[in-house]
Structure 1
Amino acid sequence: MIQSAASPLSPRDARRIERYAALAEASRFLHPVQQALLHRRGWLKMLAPRASGGAELPLPQVVRLEEAVAGVDGSMAWVLTLCAGAGWFAGFLPPDLARGIIGTHRVCLGGSGAPTGHAEQDGDGWRITGSWDYASGAPMATHFTLNAVLRANGQPLLDEHGAPRIRAFLVPAAQVQIVPSWRSIGMRASASHSYRIDNQWVDQRHGFTISPAAATADGPLYRYPFYSLAFVTLAANVAGMAGHFLRLAPPCMGRRRHAVKNLPLLDVPEVAALLRDKEEALATARAHFYAELDRSWTLVASGTRLAPDDALSVQTASLALVAASRAAVDELYPYCGLYAAHEDSTINRVWRDFHTASQHTLLLP
């Protein structure tokens, strides 16, 4: 209904993910079988450069896979998306360093984009201190990425506009302390915990700049703008969860009767029309979203720089998909009955995951 017939996720993998989703939520992290699948399929390396041992898949293929996984288990899709997204940063590291990191056994990169720490200049490197929130997949991370304010002699280093300079870093997990803090109503198995670093030194080569001009890997993936990549991957997750909800809603509605009209709920014309309208609206927004994603990717793959208007079109289509997803879930939920409010039901887990994931700051209307 929402996903195309040619799903990038095999039925066997989908069944395996689904089978362990409830157990993963109960334990508050991905089930070992789900973790093994992420590694076996190489999904956590799908955005890393081929030269460093990654798959370097075309972005539209990656986004469709992320949506398909989100259509089965939101937490697993979120870990996949955020950790594979951090693997994309390998395209901005020195190539030999990137090869060593991506070649790590069961490599998984997690992290946070907020500049809530500082990096003090120390010889040929930086001494990092700070704390960061929302590192999805933290328990399985082998490395953490972060943004930090640069300092020298205790004072912030300033850019040409007089603002503090901020730099991205990649730090081995051995230098990081995970702080269990993830207590959300949904996405429980994403284990998006906080983490801290206390006065740990890293070589300057572990710092990097996220910009097409600073890419160390060839290929269109590393010329695609960071924020455009973030918009499409996050929106696809939200759409996948909304599609999952829409597949679960009709059976819930089918067990209910309208109290006033004394008809099966799905036989009430207004209710049937609402369901049809939300399905069609989401399908239309999804089609437009993928048309914009595919168009933007074709431009970048051909060597064309994505112009500001093109990047804005990608952002607009992403937010329109999120808006259609929100409208579908929020307007249909009241018709799904108390079963949908039961914490142990699948539709309730999907509803909670959806409303947690869609709180991401980039997805604000």
Structure 2
Amino acid sequence: MTSLLDNARDLAPTVAARAAEAETARRLPADLARELALAGLFRMTVPAEYGGGETTAQTFFDVIETIGAADAAAGWCTMIASTSALAAAWLPRHHAEAMFSDPAGISGGVFAPLGKAQSDGDSYIVSGRWAWASGSANCQWLLGGAMIFDDGELRKLPNGAPDHRMMFFNAKDVALIDTWEASGLRGTGSGDMAVENVAIPADRSVSFLTDTPLSKAPLHLFPPFGLLALGIAAVASGNARAALDDVKALATAKKAQGSSRTLAERGTVQAEYSQIDAALEAARALARNAIAAAWAEAETGQPIGLEARARLRQAATHLTRTAAKVTAAAYDIAGGTAVYSKHPLQRRFRDAHVATQHIMVSPPTWELTGRVALGLPTDAATL
């Protein structure tokens, strides 16, 4: 029986071969998305009882990194689909089975609470518009975060913070708006999505902040936001590793103008390549250590401690931002060759610098994780 990682490795050449097609179309081709889905890569996080992978956090990372090396956009869509599907472990059985038991099913959406949900008995009436709906054109189910209102008043949690939940919409109830004219990750199709006065059952909504997963598998005790951040880092890491491979192939063949030596024979290139290779591998090792430590806690069946959760976010942010620097350095080594759109380093450079803009790996994460490291009182909701 093949593993999820074996499936990812088998599909990687196909994904790589179609990267330019996806970038031109500004979305993941539907037939390729279906192949990834049928390989189980979009349902890695779904409980096994619904036919999902219920994988380990490390395999989750490795699969996304593998697809991300083939094409960062396809890796990003894999990350979005699999983290959206994580909610299957929080939903009641009748919804989880209906939404996630189809092997070809794909989910996606936006966690940010940009919508408004008015409570109405056993339902919510939801309206809103969300940006960054990656992979949405291929989805059957789409989630959108929404603030909860009771009779027009914003519902608040006991700590005074606004109450918000992720609402799951049938794709037929969602309008997709093509806004995705981006510098990188163009093949993700991350346009806007919108709904207006859509009624959904209240129990078809999830909060990772206040709800408890029904599954007790280690994956579902793992911090959801930590897993999301690791997924982003995995895309960035795979993209950077591929950039190093690209520049290695180029350097062993290309000679600078007026030189009889290849780039690889030049001492400055050798030193630069070694340093950026070491930087990426060190950042990957930090991520693996953070995953292993948090997973060991998850296997005890107890909530994962604050320090381990902070380490996950710290490691994911460090890897994502290191990967962007490594990719930029590889682009520089390649010289003028990399400025042409036909060369993969051009796409990898742009993809790397869009990945760094996600809020889960943005610079404020350093302040958040630094407060934990220094023992200061910290709002750890997103850890």
What is the TM-score of this pair, normalised by structure 1?
0.92
Work out the CA distance in 1 between the residues paired with 2:291 and 2:46.
19
Tell me if 1:343 matches 2:341.
yes
Aligned runs of 1:133-152 on 2, under 5 Å? 133-152=131-150
Structure 2 counterpart SS, 1:349: helix
Structure 2 residue corresponding to 1:102, chosen from 73, 96, 100: 100
Work out the CA distance in 1 between the residues paired with 2:96 and 2:179.
30
Q: Which residue of 1 aligns with 2:374?
A: none
Q: Which residue of 2 aligns with 1:216?
A: 214
- Per-residue displacement from partner, 1:161-208 (whole Å, max 9, x unpaired)? 444321221111121111111111221111011110101111111122
Tell me if 1:205 matches 2:229.
no
Q: Which residue of 1 aligns with 2:266?
A: 268
Work out the CA distance in 2 between the residues paired with 1:142 and 1:302.
35
Is the deviation greater in 237-246 or in 331-340? 331-340
Aligned runs of 1:73-152 on 2, under 5 Å? 73-104=71-102, 106-152=104-150
Question: Once the 2 structures are TM-superposed, how far is the Cα of residue 260 of structure 1 from its aligned partner?
Answer: 9.4
Work out the CA distance in 1 between the residues paired with 2:117 and 2:222.
28
- Per-residue displacement from partner, 1:288-340 (whole Å, max 9, x unpaired)? 32122122212212324211111122222222222331221222322212221
Aligned runs of 1:120-199 on 2, under 5 Å? 120-199=118-197
5+ residue gaps, structure 1, are 1-6
Structure 2 counterpart SS, 1:113: strand
Query: Against the structure 1 CA distance between its residues 267 and 261, is the aligned structure 2 distance closer, same or farther, given a 3 Å change threshold?
Result: same
Structure 1 residue corresponding to 2:308, chosen from 310, 318, 327: 310
Is the deviation greater in 142-151 or in 287-296? 287-296
Q: Which residue of 1 aligns with 2:281?
A: 283
Q: Which residue of 1 aligns with 2:378?
A: none
Q: Which residue of 2 aligns with 1:243?
A: 241
Question: Once the 2 structures are TM-superposed, how far is the Cα of residue 257 of structure 1 from its aligned partner?
Answer: 4.6
Work out the CA distance in 1 between the residues paired with 2:131 and 2:359.
13
Q: Which residue of 1 aligns with 2:63?
A: 65
- Per-residue displacement from partner, 1:128-183 (whole Å, max 9, x unpaired)? 01101111111011111111111122221223344432122111112111111111
What is the identity percentage for the equivalent residue pairs of Structure 1 and Structure 2?
Answer: 22
**Aligned 8 A contact 1:86 1:109 in 2:** yes
Aligned runs of 1:221-232 on 2, under 5 Å? 221-232=219-230
5+ residue gaps, structure 2, are 364-383
Query: Against the structure 1 CA distance between its residues 310 and 105, is the aligned structure 2 distance closer, same or farther, given a 3 Å change threshold?
Result: closer
Structure 2 counterpart SS, 1:351: helix
C-alpha RMSD of the superposition: 2.2
Structure 1 counterpart SS, 2:111: coil
Question: Once the 2 structures are TM-superposed, how far is the Cα of residue 10 of structure 1 from its aligned partner?
Answer: 5.7
Structure 1 counterpart SS, 2:132: strand
Aligned length: 360
**Aligned 8 A contact 2:284 2:319 in 1:** yes
Q: Which residue of 1 aligns with 2:368?
A: none
Query: Against the structure 1 CA distance between its residues 33 and 305, is the aligned structure 2 distance closer, same or farther, given a 3 Å change threshold?
Result: same
Query: Against the structure 1 CA distance between its residues 36 and 8, is the aligned structure 2 distance closer, same or farther, given a 3 Å change threshold?
Result: same
Give the residue type in structure 1 aligned to 2:60: V
What is the TM-score of this pair, normalised by structure 2?
0.88
Work out the CA distance in 2 between the residues paired with 1:105 and 1:315.
31
Q: Which residue of 2 aligns with 1:297?
A: 295
**Aligned 8 A contact 1:117 1:149 in 2:** yes
